Structure 1
């Protein structure tokens, strides 16, 4: 049975009214690859546009909060925690962005975690594109989720 289609075949927001409230959490991750000089400017906070990572962090948090405005049929959620981390992988000229979204509610937060990562990565791209228009965003994925009927789920190490 398709959950986002009603009996008439029309798009439909899933009714979560009767679902039990539980603590729900999701962690997502993605990366952006750039030239070594661009990465160095970001790491050393020497970019002309200022603190690129701080700006991307705020953008990611705002993105998670706006997820329901961006994804059709996505429930607006009262997030209680959004956290982003930025890990520098100098040998591969990458910044790995991870997000944690959390709440106590009736539906999961995977889309919010993915949106937070995506918006943070897009912000990094936007702020650095003049230095490096060939940057590449990749590997955006959910790493794990907690809560709801399925409980705990984690990405298989194979991929």
Structure 2
């Protein structure tokens, strides 16, 4: 198999879930990052807890964690895995202006957790967008990416969490 073979397709082009039964069980971690860009006014409303829908950051962080746990039901052919840790951290970033979102997923298993980390970060961003759309019609979600992965064949992290989206 070369780097361009699609593992989710069999020899006849039919969809298949990748067989991971022969892979070693290892500790696996992935971190995904994304941003929600908004107006300075919107950022100030959140900073001073004056948004119409309450604590948007706490709600979005919780939504991201909940979403990570549902990844295999949302993404076709994604393995259901036992997550050992999921965190979502959202920070205000006045330089955007907007929000910086970091989501980390961990497991001990035979397949990686990149999709769970990406799902957590994207649903956190979508939740922020939903909760703030009444006050800001020009927001955008950008820069969603896996910024760190460890475990499995790839071993050590291949990017750092601060380098990818800067």
| Bin for the TM-score computed over the shorter chain | over 0.9
- Structure 1: stretches of 5+ with no match in the other structure: none
In the alignment of these two chains, the number of paired residues is 159
Contact 2:105 2:113 in 1 (8 A): yes
Match status 1:108 vs 2:109: no
State how far apart, in whole Å, the 1-side matches of 2:153 and 2:99 are: 34
Secondary structure at the aligned position of 1:32 is classed as: strand
Where do 4+ consecutive residues of structure 1 move more than 4 Å?
Answer: 156-159
Q: Of the candidates 54, 64, 68, which is equivalent to residue 60 of structure 1? A: 64
What is aligned with 1:48? Answer: 52
Equivalent residue, structure 1, for 2:140: 136
The corresponding residue for 1:11 is 15
SS at match of 1:153: coil
| TM-score relative to the length of structure 1 | 0.95
Give CA deviations for 1:8-66 in whole Å, capped at 9, x if unaligned.
32100001111110000001100011111111111221111110001101110011111
Structure 2 gap segments, 5+ residues each: none
SS in 1 for 2:152: coil
The one of 28, 33, 37 aligned to 2:37 = 33
SS where residue 122 of structure 1 aligns? helix
Aligned position for 2:83: 79
**Displacement after TM superposition at 1:158 (Å):** 7.4
- TM-score (norm. length: structure 2): 0.91
